Structure 1
Amino acid sequence: MPVLRPLSGAGALRRPALRWTDLLVGVAIIVVFYLTIRATLGAASPLDLATAPSSISTDPAHLPYYALRSLLRMFVALIASTVFTFMVATAAARLPRVEKIVLPALDILQSVPILGFLSVTVTGFIALFPGSTLGLEAASVFAIFTSQAWNMAFSFHASLVSQSRDLDEAARLMRLSKWQRFWKLDVPSGMIPLVWNGMMSFGGGWFFLAASEAISVGDKTYALPGVGAYVAAAVEQGQLDRVGWAILAMIVMVLGTNFLFWRPLVAWAERFRQEDTAAVDRPRSLVLDLLAHSSIPRGLGRAFAPVGRGLDRATRPFGVAEHPLFVPRLRRRAGDVVMALVVIAGILYGAYWASEFIGSTIGFGSFGEAFGLGLITFIRVLVIIILATLIWVPVGVWVGMNPKVSKLAQPVVQLLASFPANFLFPFVIAFFVAVGIPLDIGGILLMALGSQWYILFNVIAGASAIPTDLRQAMESFRLTPWQRWRKLILPGIFPAYVTGGITAAGGAWNASIVSEIVSYNHNTLIAPGLGSYIAQATSGGDMARVLVGVIVMSVFVVGLNRLFWRRLYRVAETRFSL
Structure 2
Amino acid sequence: MLVVRLPERPNRYDLLALVITLVLLALFLEASREAASPFQPSPISLEPRYLPEYTLRTAFRMGVAFLFSTLFTLVYAPLAAKTRLEPFLISLLDILQSVPILGFLAATAGTLASLFPGRALGYELAAVFAVFTSQAWNMAFSFYQSLKTLPRELNEVAALFRLSPWQRFLRLELPFALPGLVWNGMMSMSGGWFFVVASEAIAVGKTQVELPGIGSYLATAIAQGNSRAVLLAALSMLVAILAYDQLLFRPLVAWSQRFKYEERAGTEPARSWVLDLLRRTHTLRGIAEAAFSWALEALFQLERKRPRRPTALPLWALTLPLLLLGGMGALALWHLLQPLGWQELAKVLLLGFFTFLRVMGVLLLAATLWVPAGILLGLRPRVAQRVEAILQLLAAFPVNLLYPLLALFLLRYHLSLEVFSAFLMALGNQWYILFNAVAGSMALPEDLKEAARSFGLRGLTLWRRLLLPGTFPHILTGLITASGGTWNAAIVAEVVQWGSLTLQATGLGSYIAYWTLEEGQGPHLLLGIAVMSLYVLVLNRLVWRRLYRLAEERFRF
Give TM class, smaller chain: over 0.9
How big is the alpha-carbon RMSD for the aligned residues of Structure 1 and Structure 2?
Answer: 1.8
How far is the alpha carbon of 1:288 from its aligned partner?
1.4
The residue correspondences of 1:200-349 to structure 2 (distance < 5 A) are 200-295=187-282, 296-318=284-306, 335-349=314-328
Distance 1:433 1:408 in 2: 39
SS in 2 for 1:93: helix
Matched positions, count: 550
Residue 507 of structure 1 and its aligned partner are, at CA, apart by 0.6
What is the CA–CA distance in structure 2 between the aligned matches of 1:436 and 1:255, rounded to whole Å?
A: 39
> Which residue in 2 is equivalent to 1:33?
25
Tell me the distance in 1 between the aligned counterparts of 2:397 and 2:250.
Answer: 17
Find the counterpart in structure 1 of residue 531 from structure 2: 552
Preserved contact between residue 195 and residue 269 of structure 1 (Cα < 8 Å): yes
Partner of 1:419: 397
- Decide whether aligned partners of structure 1 residues 319 and 445 sit closer, same or farther in structure 2, where only a CA change above 3 A counts: farther
Paired residues of 1:254 and 1:419 also in contact (CA < 8 A)? no
Q: CA deviation at 1:432?
A: 2.8
Q: What is the letter of the counterpart of residue 405 of structure 1?
A: V
By how many angstroms is 1:217 displaced? 5.0
Instruction: Spell out the pairing of 1:513-524 with structure 2 (5 A cutoff).
Output: 513-524=491-502
- Match 1:44 to one of 10, 14, 36: 36
1:429 equivalent to 2:407? Answer: yes
| Separation of aligned partners in 1, 2:10 and 2:285 | 14
Deviations 1:91-114 (A, max 9, x none): 11111x211111000000100000
Q: 2:126 aligns with which of 139, 143, 152?
A: 139
1:353 to 329, 332, 352: 332
Is the 1:67–1:227 contact (alpha carbons within 8 Å) kept by the matching residues of 2? yes
Deviations 1:495-533 (A, max 9, x none): 011111011111100000111012111211111100000
Matching residue of 2:3 = none
Q: Does 1:94 align with 2:73?
A: no
**Which letter does structure 2 place at the counterpart of 1:575?**
R
Q: Distance in 1 between matches of 2:310 and 2:265?
A: 40
Pick one of 544, 551, 554 that aligns with 1:565.
544
User: Quick one: which amino acid aligns to residue 509 of structure 1?
Assistant: W
Aligned counterpart for 2:387 among listed residues 397, 409, 432: 409
- Give, in angstroms, the shift of residue 178 of structure 1: 2.2
Structure 1 residue 381: deviation in Å?
A: 0.5
**SS of 2:118's equivalent?**
coil
Q: Which residue does 1:195 correspond to in 2? A: 182
Change (3 A) 1:406 1:150: same
**2:12 counterpart (15, 20, 28):** 20
Contact (CA 8 Å) 1:399, 1:409: kept in 2 or not? no
Cα shift readout 1:97-154 (whole Å, capped 9, x = no counterpart):
2111110000001000000111011122112222211100101100000001111111
Larger radius of gyration between Structure 1 and Structure 2: 1
Distance 1:93 1:314 in 2: 24
Note the C-alpha offset of 1:573.
0.4
Q: Report the AA paired with residue 504 of structure 2.
A: I
Structure 1 residue 287, shift from structure 2 partner = 1.8
- 1:4-40 CA-to-partner distances (Å, cap 9, x unmatched) read xxxxxxxxxx995542221111100000000000000
Superposed CA offset, 1:189-229 (max 9, x none): 10011001111011000111000001135413011111000
CA distance in structure 2 between the partners assigned to 1:300 and 1:403 by the alignment: 28
Partner Cα distance (1:306, 1:16) in 2: 18
- Work out the CA distance in 2 between the residues paired with 1:452 and 1:280: 28
Q: Secondary structure of 1:519's match?
A: strand
Counterparts of 1:395 and 1:345, CA distance in 2: 47
- Secondary structure at the aligned position of 1:466 is classed as coil
Asked if the contact 2:205–2:516 (Cα under 8 Å) also holds between the matched residues in 1, the reply is no
Aligned twin of 1:469? 447
CA distance 1:505–1:479, shift in 2 (3 Å)? same
Offset at residue 479 of structure 1 (A) = 1.5
Match of 1:478 in 2: 456
Amino acid across the alignment from 2:523: A
2:478 — aligned with what? Answer: 500
Deviation at 1:313, TM superposition (A): 1.9
SS at match of 2:72: helix
Q: Is this contact kept in 1: 2:440–2:470, CA < 8 A?
A: yes
**Pick aligned residue for 1:172 from 143, 159, 162:** 159
Q: Deviations over 1:470-499 (max 9, x none)?
A: 101110111232211111111101001111
DSSP 3-state at the match of 1:236: helix
Deviation at 1:327, TM superposition (A): 9.6
Code of the aligned partner of 2:19: V
Q: How much does 1:429 deviate?
A: 2.4
Measured against aligned partners, the alpha-carbon deviations of 1:306-330 in whole angstroms (never above 9, x if no partner) come to 233222222234589xxxxx997xx
For residues 68 and 428 of structure 2, the distance between their equivalents in structure 1, rounded to whole angstroms, comes to 22
Q: Which amino acid aligns with 1:474?
A: A
- Structure 2: runs of 5+ lacking an equivalent: 1-5
Compute the TM-score of the two structures, normalised by the length of structure 2: 0.95
Q: Amino acid of the residue matched to residue 130 of structure 1?
A: P
Closer, same or farther in 2 for the Cα pair 1:150/1:372, shift >3 Å?
A: same
- Name the CA distance, whole Å, in 2 between partners of 1:165 and 1:101: 25
| Deviations, residues 361-387 of structure 1 (Å, cap 9, x unaligned) | x33431111111111111111111111
SS at match of 1:190: helix
SS at match of 1:577: coil
Verify the 8 A CA contact 1:447 1:512 in the aligned structure 2.
yes
- Pick the aligned partner of 2:172 from 179, 185, 209: 185
Matched residue SS, 2:109: helix
Letter in 2 for 1:259: Q
What is the CA deviation profile of residues 385-435 of structure 1, one whole-angstrom value per residue up to 9, with x for unaligned ones? 111111001100111111122122222212111222123322332333333
SS in 2 for 1:266: helix
Distance in 2 (alpha carbons) for counterparts of 1:260 and 1:423: 27
Q: How many angstroms apart in 2 are the aligned matches of 1:435 and 1:286?
A: 49
Distance 1:404 1:348 in 2: 53
1:369–1:430 CA distance, 2 compared to 1 (3 A): same
8 Å contact kept, 1:455–1:501: yes
Q: Which amino acid aligns with 1:219?
A: K
- Residue 282 of structure 1 deviates from its aligned partner by 1.9
Mapped to 2, the partners of 1:57 and 1:544 lie a distance apart of: 35
Alpha-carbon separation, structure 1, partners of 2:509 and 2:307: 49
- Correspondence 1:80 to 2:80: no
Q: Distance between the aligned counterparts of 1:120 and 1:146, measured in 2?
A: 13
Partner of residue 125, structure 1:
112
